[in-house]
Structure 1
């Protein structure tokens, strides 16, 4: 049931319950203190009257000796209508008995408090004197006070519930604002933000995190939109080429060699499309945490040397020198890490001018691939690893098999190995740095 109650109602009920509990506790403490105070006053009163009656009956030792003092006893009791007296002999026989007369006419049964003591202080086994005090008015006071406590507790709980509801509603206004902002968020409206400066201190951090989350959603949605447009563009070009070439070939009868040449051309485009789709599936698998590389001890110096030997002929055509410095051993998947290195080297070869140099540096926990080239603006460096992104927009066309997925694949593989990759571009050099856990 409590799960269905609103937070404001639960706070109001909590305030009311706390107020009622505090009022009840205060009432009980006050009632007990008042009762103890009245008992103390009654005991003091009875002790004072005990001395008076002992003085009046100082010469009484038997029932016969009491008779001359009876009238004086009654006069004393008449002066104190809230007092009564009972006098008993040592054998328990009652010599004198008179109850308080203050509430005799009342239909309500009276309440008494008694004080019993020896008639003579030095003879505890002698006649016993019992003073009886009518405390009915004390009881009435305590009963009225208890009723007042219950009424006060009820009104306090009701007033606190109403004030608590108002305070809770006012205090929860920032949360309602958050709810309104969340309701406004859609695919077409991701720019709404909360004013964290106007939030209470307790919600300021939450507002900041919500704004950060909305900013991440906006960025992710923009990237997704750009990715959708890029993939449509990347697929449209080869599909249009395939469609056009096929229509041209089928527009009139042709020789067997023409059909064979057209099929070879279509095969190349289909292979490029297949590679692109495979790369996209690889990235989707990495995004869902399904990329689980194997772990084996690898000496990356040997892997780099093999790749440099593989790319040697292509580098010689452009008079590019390939160098490797240092040693590095890591635990990882050999095939995946070779794919990262191959992508970076292929990328460096494409953007290095003839006669340039490509350096691969291996250091403890760090690998870098460097090549000379035009400096990339700092604001574009983080986006180099986005899918289909190219730092030079002029190179979006005519890239052949290079669809802009290589660096995104590199980042996915490096992160799957617990590392990180970044790009640095300064002073005429572009450097891709990979940081991997040490062995």
Structure 2
């Protein structure tokens, strides 16, 4: 089961609220406990001073013993403790509602005012012991105290309310957060609904960006860019399929036509040999097309590893010129190798790329002209070019020359050409090398250049 973003975010909000409420609750709880403790301590300090004053101002100790209600009214509740002892330890006044055993404590001197540091907490009871002077100058020991049961009950009740408040706050935060997040994620559902309606026939559709939230604007723009790439790739694929069918259909029709004519009537062995030779040419054309397509497919998927080595460009150019020398002589052309220096590249792929460019140059150059292999370096690139002084290529064709099966003039296709895949192979070879390819054509001729990063 997939995890919902809304549920996870709502849970995170609830946990955050619970944490914040818990911190606030702990702070308030400790503040209340500290305030109650301070008030109880101040009341206990005041009580010791009151008892001291009462003992000092009384007419006699016997009169105090005869009026115990006075102490009970002064102490105010059953949680208070008052114990007055004579110097010999005998009790003079003993108010201890819970009959708890009081420990011996070091009393405060008579002339010193009590402080909070003198108060001790024992067995859920705060106690304070000090010396006092009786009516006849008799030295007395006074113990005052208060049980903390009421305070603990109050704090326990407060804790329960805090627990309830934190839990209820977390539940409310989760519910409200989930509701708001579901409403906030509505643009995503709308976007998903719009994307679901896009198919190969509607790749030209784009997601609207003017009404989407700011957080979704960049993803929507990236999605539109991806749709643009998909549309372009799909259009190229459709065009490639049509071009491939057209390129295959031509040799197949030639094969069918020649075989049909050969079978319509008896022919001499020489005529059958001519038919077979013609068929072999068409088969070779189909075979070259299949090999070129397989190379392009492997290159695009990175299945053709590079075997880089340092190459002498002068030697590479000489080998290519020797290979195309006979074809150039047939077309009354001169080949001029001006390549020099070294280059790190795959020798087989570089020879294939330059060979394709040189074959095109020889095919389209004007008779009596010179086809040149040249090199120049700039901006961190080594540019290797093939220049032919043939007729210029019109500007509308330059951007499509490296597309598969694209020809400027399909009528000029020859049986020995690459089937419109030569320049596409050159482009793939340069992509494998991480380089660039470019073409410039004007009245002085056409220059194809391969750029290798240095």
> What does 1:180-219 align with in structure 2 at a 5 Å threshold?
180-219=193-232
**Contact 1:81/1:100 (8 A) holds in 2:** no
1:98 aligned to 2:110? no
Q: Which residue of 2 aligns with 1:362?
A: 375
Deviations 1:203-222 (A, max 9, x none): 33222222222211111111
Q: Distance in 1 between matches of 2:373 and 2:88?
A: 120
Q: Which residue of 2 aligns with 1:77?
A: 72
Determine which of 21, 24, 35 is the counterpart of 2:22.
24
Name the SS of the counterpart of 2:200 in structure 1.
Answer: coil
Q: Distance in 1 between matches of 2:218 and 2:311?
A: 45
**Contact 2:365/2:391 (8 A) holds in 1:** no
1:90 shift after superposition = 6.1
Residue 167 and residue 376 in structure 1: after superposition, are their counterparts in 2 closer, same or farther (change >3 A)?
farther
Name the SS of the counterpart of 1:115 in structure 2.
Answer: strand
Q: Distance in 1 between matches of 2:161 and 2:450?
A: 78
1:53 shift after superposition = 0.3
1:156 aligned to 2:169? yes
Q: Which residue of 2 aligns with 1:285?
A: 298
Name the SS of the counterpart of 1:434 in structure 2.
Answer: strand
**Contact 1:321/1:357 (8 A) holds in 2:** yes
Q: Distance in 1 between matches of 2:10 and 2:53?
A: 64
Q: Which residue of 2 aligns with 1:220?
A: 233
Q: Distance in 2 between matches of 1:291 and 1:196?
A: 41
Q: Which residue of 2 aligns with 1:107?
A: none
1:410 shift after superposition = 1.2
Determine which of 32, 38, 41 is the counterpart of 1:40.
38
Superposition misfits of 4+ residues, deviation over 6 angstroms: none
1:119 aligned to 2:131? yes
Q: Which residue of 2 aligns with 1:431?
A: 447
Q: Distance in 2 between matches of 1:265 and 1:375?
A: 34
Name the SS of the counterpart of 2:352 in structure 1.
Answer: helix
1:92 shift after superposition = 6.1
What RMSD over aligned residues (CA atoms) do the two structures have, in Å? 2.9
Residue 79 and residue 87 in structure 1: after superposition, are their counterparts in 2 closer, same or farther (change >3 A)?
closer
Q: Distance in 1 between matches of 2:88 and 2:14?
A: 61
1:117 shift after superposition = 1.7
1:367 shift after superposition = 0.8
Residue 71 and residue 194 in structure 1: after superposition, are their counterparts in 2 closer, same or farther (change >3 A)?
farther
Q: Which residue of 2 aligns with 1:414?
A: 430
Q: Distance in 2 between matches of 1:345 and 1:234?
A: 23
> What does 1:56-71 align with in structure 2 at a 5 Å threshold?
56-58=54-56, 66-71=61-66
Residue 197 and residue 252 in structure 1: after superposition, are their counterparts in 2 closer, same or farther (change >3 A)?
same
Q: Distance in 1 between matches of 2:90 and 2:240?
A: 112
**Contact 1:8/1:165 (8 A) holds in 2:** yes
**Contact 1:330/1:437 (8 A) holds in 2:** no
Deviations 1:240-292 (A, max 9, x none): 11011101111122222221111111111111111111111111121221112
Residue 278 and residue 69 in structure 1: after superposition, are their counterparts in 2 closer, same or farther (change >3 A)?
same
Q: Distance in 1 between matches of 2:299 and 2:427?
A: 10
Q: Which residue of 2 aligns with 1:146?
A: 159
Residue 216 and residue 88 in structure 1: after superposition, are their counterparts in 2 closer, same or farther (change >3 A)?
farther
Residue 202 and residue 90 in structure 1: after superposition, are their counterparts in 2 closer, same or farther (change >3 A)?
farther
Q: Which runs of 5+ in 2 are unaligned?
A: 99-122, 134-138
> What does 1:256-335 align with in structure 2 at a 5 Å threshold?
256-335=269-348
Residue 255 and residue 312 in structure 1: after superposition, are their counterparts in 2 closer, same or farther (change >3 A)?
closer
1:375 shift after superposition = 4.5
Q: Distance in 1 between matches of 2:86 and 2:414?
A: 128
Name the SS of the counterpart of 1:383 in structure 2.
Answer: coil
Residue 317 and residue 155 in structure 1: after superposition, are their counterparts in 2 closer, same or farther (change >3 A)?
same
TM-score (norm 1): 0.85
Q: Distance in 1 between matches of 2:399 and 2:66?
A: 114
1:395 aligned to 2:395? no
Deviations 1:184-229 (A, max 9, x none): 3433332232233433333332222222222111111111111111
Deviations 1:43-83 (A, max 9, x none): 111111211101222489xxxx7433224553143144134
TM-score (norm 2): 0.83
